[in-house]
Amino acid sequence: MKIDIDTGSGFCFGVVRAITLAEKILKEEGRLYCLGDIVHNNKEVERLKNTGLEIIDHDQLKQLNNCKVLIRAHGEPPETYEIARQNNIELVDGTCPVVLKLQQKIKNKYNELKENSGHVLIYGKKGHAEVIGLAGQTGNNAIIVESLEDLDNLDLSKPLHLFAQTTKSPETYQQIYSEIKKRYEVENPDTYLKCTDSICRQVSTRSPRLKVFCKNYDVIVFVSGKKSSNGKLLFEDCKSVNKNSYFVSDKEELDKKWFENAQSVGICGATSTPKWLMEEIAGSIKKLH
């Protein structure tokens, strides 16, 4: 049976950057705090914990003093930087440069729009770390749009500027934009409604590539942490072109039955899936067979 790992799957550059920063400090100092899971993949988090990384939450951050804390690729709102300043905490900023740029754009747009009673909208998952960091740039005044239902209470007579969480699907983002435009209560919606394409290219280019990869195999094993938004989205892409697609987070979840009549298996994953984990899964499939 042929088993291939998709060369385009695995960590995006933002995640590689944050992990490289963490590994460098862990090597030199043997210990580092990280605010939230460094990546939405329990296996990778476990690996780094074993080298001295300690995951903390925001309540624990408030109790710390005189130490180093890593900010992961998702970024943080301004309050986190303020807590660090007050507690003499050195922040190791692993915020992805793409997210950092988006935070700045949202901040500028918010300041501009509030002069005209306009609103910043963010299409994203409520409570997601990146969205919290983005909304923080507007003093939490941005309106978070998770689905079309969230548009029902919008004031559609004011200027609006729409942004998206970097890992959202470009297609659903377009749907949200078109729906707002349709409902807009002004004569010329394009004058009042603006939209920034803030979907990360590391995500949007993966989807079409992944669909091509998945068509070439009898069975697809998609490897991702269960908390990864990007993982959920890309797995939907796998299923849309190959009905024999299975989602696993580690090798224990593999089922021998999936491979009974298969001549070929393709292994792929999310932007938060480590290469070593996909290789481990490939090895386990070989053994099962």
Which of 5, 10, 14, 53: binder of ligand SF4 (CB under 6 A)? 14
Smallest distance, ligand SF4 to C-beta of residue 12, A: 3
Q: Do 62 and 42 meet the contact criterion of CB atoms below 8 Å apart? A: no
Q: Do 206 and 8 meet the contact criterion of CB atoms below 8 Å apart? A: yes
Partners of 267 in the beta sheet? 5, 221
Smallest distance, ligand SF4 to C-beta of residue 68, A: 21
Smallest distance, ligand SF4 to C-beta of residue 270, A: 9
**DSSP H or E segment with residue 63:** helix 58-63
Q: Do 32 and 68 meet the contact criterion of CB atoms below 8 Å apart? A: yes
Q: Distance between CA 32 and CA 30 in Å, rounded?
A: 7
Place of tokens 């939209």: 195
Q: Do 134 and 198 meet the contact criterion of CB atoms below 8 Å apart? A: no
Q: Does 199 bind ligand SF4 (CB under 6 A)?
A: no
Smallest distance, ligand SF4 to C-beta of residue 110, A: 20
Q: Any alpha helices (H) in 50-128, and if so which ranges?
A: 58-63, 78-86, 97-114
Choose one: 24-32, 42-50, 112-120, 199-207; the region binding ligand SF4 (CB under 6 A): 199-207
x/- map, 48-77, ligand SF4, by CB under 6 A: -------------------------x----
Smallest distance, ligand SF4 to C-beta of residue 190, A: 28
x/- map, 145-184, ligand SF4, by CB under 6 A: ---------------------xx-----------------
Which of 135, 203, 238, 277: binder of ligand SF4 (CB under 6 A)? 203
Q: According to CB under 6 A, which residues from 241 to 280 bind ligand SF4? A: 271
Q: According to CB under 6 A, which residues from 73 to 112 bind ligand SF4? A: 73, 96, 98-99
Whichever of 30 and 127 has its CB closer to ligand SF4, that residue is 127
79 is catalytic: no
Secondary-structure percent of the chain, ordered helix, strand, coil, rounded to 5? 45, 20, 35
The catalytic residue among 115, 130, 149, 252 is 130
Q: Do 58 and 33 meet the contact criterion of CB atoms below 8 Å apart? A: no
Amino acid type, 50: N
- Count, in order, helices (H) and strands (E) of the chain: 12, 12
Number of neighbouring beta carbons within 10 Å of residue 195: 19
Interacting residues with ligand SF4 (CB under 6 A): 12-15, 73, 96, 98-99, 166-167, 200, 202-203, 271
Q: Active-site positions? A: 130
